[in-house]
Structure 1
């Protein structure tokens, strides 16, 4: 991304405009910068709402310069929807955000993620369930994704961090702010061992409308969503509903009929959501999806030289492409950047293949990258 393109996308972060409209624009024009050179009449003719020119002009150079000052380190990124770093699963969502601000390891956005959501005031058992499920799922190779809220979200993030494993937090504010303030230290740990993500412009504070928007990103980036505890009317059920609408797997942990925080989970189960009692049930369910999707990526990217035969995860054997990828992974820690450089593959393809290798115990995810298993 050029400097001018970065300025253009930062200006667009302050404007309510859909990624679909921008995609249509970029199919016709070579650069997003050209959007700012068009007249109001031309913009309207392209299908944009009247007044866009004025709104673009209202984003002053001072605002952009202030935004640019936030990018003071290598781990801060601006990822528009047309970037190869944009999460592939999220791009499938109809209302996908036009851009993402990311602080931390941007490569995690294209690794397999499992969302864990639930009450801000969970029971002691709910906290324990969130931590135990997150720990097991993270150890199995999934990136734990949540909203960094109090309660279940925080327990899930912390469980992954305690294992030295990555976690992704989607914020409901600009990334120059931390909400809730009590999670300031956790946010810093997530930056160091995972990633913070937001679609909101820098400087944006807390608004009620931000959280349903944040929830669609949590669900959209994740292969599946686990609801730990939730009241009948809660943001967690919004996340679950969005995940179902996006065609993703949703899981719910049952609880006591006397626990009001179990009623949301029970309502989901009645709607056909999968009841789970152990994290292993989620792993088993998602292994098949991961295998299918990895095979789809192989076929669509002409890997393997022909049609990929369907295999169960228990019958998984390394074909030539996976053997080649294994050869670029050391027994010492190998960073994602090194794996991509050595393999010559796109990040989306590598991420899918790495998860499948990890789920089948050929490699292990560690802080800073991956290691081949000695056995």
Structure 2
């Protein structure tokens, strides 16, 4: 019998079946032989961990792709006391655990082949963080690399993008700092426990990220920053983002691992060109030769990602139509109605509405100021939800 669970506010509660699944997700992360890919197969097959832990050998054999080691580890698991201790350790550090079954588990992360059963979070992850771009690169960054990273981070953050990186020295740290300087949000995905500040000189940055974003890890509390943790960490950086921008990378850089994972996950991959012949440019130049989008500024990133934003905005409009205030005039209602059907550029609004260009511009500005419309790159408008 599973005896405890995680609840949405990070608290701890005992007993009752509908309160068991949180602790179950955490337990699945500790089952020997059960990797994240096998975990996803279990989650898709059973729906919640209590069913997985109570399954018979025959039922486990029906899970597609679940090997014998994983099935044996699940059937023989008994380390519930240690799981409860891990939960208490997390709460004692101020961390919150977000299990795979929680409504606030990042939707984009659910889609990757190997999502973690549980995320440890310090700070706050929000729904708006789904509009995110990852910026990664060399720990030994040049002045040029830092400057470009700052421009990209500030520019994207000012447009409402959450900046994701790994809080490492060099490009990662500069990306987080740039987002914070622009008053934006940023997520740091660590290759250690969320209670471990690595590198140590980023302690102030760590605290600022906790206040204006979140520190995220799949690793248990107290886990040191072992080198073998970082490839797994990289899949979460790319998995949480719409796209990954690589700024300066040698041919053996871990940033290239992140870029490769991004491609596997169906994310956009971008690379900033560097100095010809420089070792820290070889990785990014290789990515560009292989088809990564060349980035010289914020516009290059946003234009490539815009279709994904339009698709998401369309889905939101279908789910929750935006009501208009009573003082919105007839012409403005006509313009709003056109844009509510699909995203339109200003020229398309003028043509479809039959109104003069000056009048359309006036209406669009008024609706945008009211928060009823949003303008995307290319002067394309969507409704304000």
Do they fold alike, i.e. is TM over 0.5?
A: yes
TM-score (normalised: structure 2): 0.74
Matched position secondary structure for 2:20 = helix
| 1:239 aligned partner | 258
Which deviations, in whole Å up to 9, do the C-alpha atoms of 1:71-103 show, x marking residues without a partner?
148x73222223221212222212222221111
Structure 1 vs Structure 2 CA RMSD:
3.5
Question: Superposed, which structure 2 residues align to 1:260-339 within 5 Å?
Answer: 260-299=279-318, 301=319, 309-312=341-344
d(CA) in 2 for partners of 1:168, 1:96: 17
| 2:208 aligned partner | 189
Q: Select the structure of larger CA radius of gyration.
A: 2
Structure 1 ranges of 4+ moved more than 6 A: 304-308
Contact 1:19 1:81 in 2 (8 A): no
Which deviations, in whole Å up to 9, do the C-alpha atoms of 1:125-161 show, x marking residues without a partner?
1111111110111111100000111110000001112
| 1:164 aligned partner | 183
Contact 1:89 1:221 in 2 (8 A): yes
- State the shift of 1:13 in Å: 2.6
TM-score (normalised: structure 1): 0.75
Matched position secondary structure for 2:263 = helix
| 2:27 aligned partner | 11
Question: Superposed, which structure 2 residues align to 1:250-265 within 5 Å?
Answer: 250-265=269-284
Q: Paired residue for 1:56, among 77, 86, 91?
A: 77
Question: Aligned pairs, how many?
Answer: 328
- State the shift of 1:41 in Å: 6.6
Which deviations, in whole Å up to 9, do the C-alpha atoms of 1:337-370 show, x marking residues without a partner?
xxxxxxxxxxxxxxxxx9x8374799xxxxxxxx
1:82 and 2:98 aligned: no
d(CA) in 2 for partners of 1:30, 1:219: 25
Q: Paired residue for 1:33, among 35, 50, 54?
A: 50
1:118 and 2:131 aligned: no
d(CA) in 2 for partners of 1:357, 1:102: 31
Which deviations, in whole Å up to 9, do the C-alpha atoms of 1:248-286 show, x marking residues without a partner?
211111121132111111111111111121112222332
Gaps of 5+ in 2: 1-6, 8-17, 323-336, 350-365
| 1:68 aligned partner | 88
- State the shift of 1:167 in Å: 0.4
> Could you say if the C-alpha distance between residues 215 and 162 of structure 1 is closer, same or farther in structure 2, counting changes exceeding 3 Å?
same
d(CA) in 2 for partners of 1:316, 1:120: 46
